[in-house]
Chain A
């Protein structure tokens, strides 16, 4: 029997699902969408398995090869991200099917927009050229802004508008960089660019423009102002998708572009500047998270902080020894994956806590620790990974980054890792402290469905288990990647 290659299907299924849910009547969209999640899981994990077993895959859409056609490339990292997207988005869809039941308008538009988002994400993971990445980035931005606006309140609309302006500015800066690179080298494919790029003014300006645009989209400090209102004000399953996956997409593009152009082309000072901004993000985000009084705003500021760790990759991997670079690569990937799982779990958990207490305030959580322990448990597990306590994925990631900092002789990044961990402990325990307050307040909490609690728990649990068995996934993610040739 001939089985079709799964690579194009991870794009075809979500795109078809987006159109199918748009065509279905508004009341039935959730029922149309959910079976398609199972189909998309099948395609995503088939692709991941194929890459692990047979090595990196390539597919020219419609038989047209570059430059006119679009070539899809799945190496270990891309396939890993496709699988991660399937896990997180699948859990968010399960959560949304219950959460949105009493919100008819949001329920009607959540599904097509989420499927477009899924298409854009997979398009970005699998792109091998910088223009296709631009198209993916724009589609992702439009779908994400639509999802933020779904909440329909004035605050959410303002957040969506601000997010849209930031996203548009960011992608135009990126596009200008693409234009300069194409003019200078006549190619858009990343591997070709890596071969021909030289350290000259055009390349530097192009790289600076692309980096700036992507930093704005990734919300790295000090360009993060749009993130907390957008992520904190959106509907809960949307917040989880945005924090876990959407900002990772622009970081992923930055990673790909820097890996192709960074070594030998970009000045080392730029890599150190990115690391310094990351460090500032860790402290500023952690401090702001601790000061919040609303639960989802706290989680959103925690995202600002956690993004900072990802940017430690640049000073640790460029201009250092191969051993240090490889440790930084593994640590950053582990951080990326475990943050995606933990943050999605934490947002879903926070949303359920808000449903249970009927209030967005952290102060209203009193007593919930005794009456709804399972709910608090999934929030706490995610917190363990964010704080970087063993045996979670967050711990493994920080451990690898710590070794990389020592191996490259840059001890000052240790302060960021330790200080950031303390700050995240402070804001996670702030939530716990309120939850275990025994007050006269109440002993009845709203409970909707076990699906809500289970989908949050599954993601948080995955982020902790990842730390126990990090070796195999890291090995898969490194298939066909840089720093992975020698043992």
Chain B
């Protein structure tokens, strides 16, 4: 197995872990971390699969940089809403999960 494919498979495993965490956990902070693992996993799949046997690909790397920026922005927004929700309600999970 080539190094690139190893990255891709690691990414698939991370995606699985992230998805499991996202569904299994109720605490919003944990779900947010799980989402970040899921995101990192999909970036690894993208970088691994697209560069397998083709060498470095600037387009892929530009895509992943964009993806990372988007993920950081979403995490920041989620944290702000979570803090506010915690202050207003006193809960660390969504109302249907409390």
Report A's interface with B, CB cutoff 8 A. 67-68, 131, 134-135, 138-139, 141-142, 145-146, 149, 153-154, 157-158, 160-162, 164-165, 168-169, 172, 175-176, 178-180, 182-183, 186, 188
Contacts A/B (CB < 8 Å), 16 sampled: A68-B59, A68-B62, A134-B67, A142-B74, A145-B81, A146-B77, A157-B81, A158-B95, A161-B28, A161-B78, A161-B82, A161-B94, A165-B78, A175-B67, A182-B46, A182-B50
Q: Which residues of B23-45 are within 8 A (CB) of A? A: 28, 31, 35, 38-39, 42, 45
Distance, CA A154 to CA B15, complexed state (A):
31
Residues of A within 8 A of B22 (CB): 165, 169
A145, A158, A178, A179: the one contacting B77 at CB < 8 Å is A145
B38, B50, B94: the one contacting A162 at CB < 8 Å is B94
Question: Is the Cβ of A149 less than 8 Å from the Cβ of B49?
Answer: no
Question: Is the Cβ of A179 less than 8 Å from the Cβ of B89?
Answer: no
Question: Is the Cβ of B42 less than 8 Å from the Cβ of A176?
Answer: yes
Residues of B within 8 A of A178 (CB): 46
Given A154-B89, A158-B85: A142 in contact with B77 (beta carbons within 8 A): yes
B70, B82, B88: the one contacting A154 at CB < 8 Å is B88
Main secondary structure of the interface of A (DSSP, over half): helix
Closest to B23 in A: A169
- Nearest 9 CB-CB pairings of A with B: A183-B49, A179-B46, A157-B85, A138-B70, A154-B88, A67-B59, A183-B50, A176-B42, A154-B89
Residue B60 interfacial (CB < 8 Å): yes
Question: Is the Cβ of B42 less than 8 Å from the Cβ of A179?
Answer: yes
Residue B2 interfacial (CB < 8 Å): no
Distance, CA A119 to CA B20, complexed state (A):
34
Distance, CA A440 to CA B58, complexed state (A):
73
Question: Is the Cβ of A180 less than 8 Å from the Cβ of B15?
Answer: no
B49, B54, B94: the one contacting A179 at CB < 8 Å is B49
Q: Which residues of B79-98 are within 8 A (CB) of A? A: 81-82, 84-85, 88-89, 94-95
Question: Is the Cβ of A180 less than 8 Å from the Cβ of B88?
Answer: no
Given A154-B88, A168-B74, A179-B50: A161 in contact with B38 (beta carbons within 8 A): no
Distance, CA A100 to CA B55, complexed state (A):
54
Task: Looking at the assembled complex, report how far the CB atom of B51 sits from the nearest CB atom of chain A, in whole angstroms.
Answer: 9
Report B's interface with A, CB cutoff 8 A. 15, 22, 28, 31, 35, 38-39, 42, 45-46, 49-50, 52, 54, 58-60, 62-63, 66-67, 70, 73-74, 77-78, 81-82, 84-85, 88-89, 94-95
Question: Is the Cβ of B94 less than 8 Å from the Cβ of A158?
Answer: yes
Distance, CA A165 to CA B15, complexed state (A):
16
Residues of A within 8 A of B28 (CB): 161
Distance, CA A138 to CA B75, complexed state (A):
12
Closest to A143 in B: B77
Distance, CA A175 to CA B38, complexed state (A):
11
Closest to B88 in A: A154
Distance, CA A153 to CA B51, complexed state (A):
47
Residues of B within 8 A of A134 (CB): 67
Residues of B within 8 A of A138 (CB): 70, 73-74
Distance, CA A64 to CA B66, complexed state (A):
17
Residues of B within 8 A of A175 (CB): 42, 46, 67
Question: Is the Cβ of A176 less than 8 Å from the Cβ of B89?
Answer: no
Question: Is the Cβ of A149 less than 8 Å from the Cβ of B50?
Answer: no
Residues of A within 8 A of B77 (CB): 142, 145-146, 164
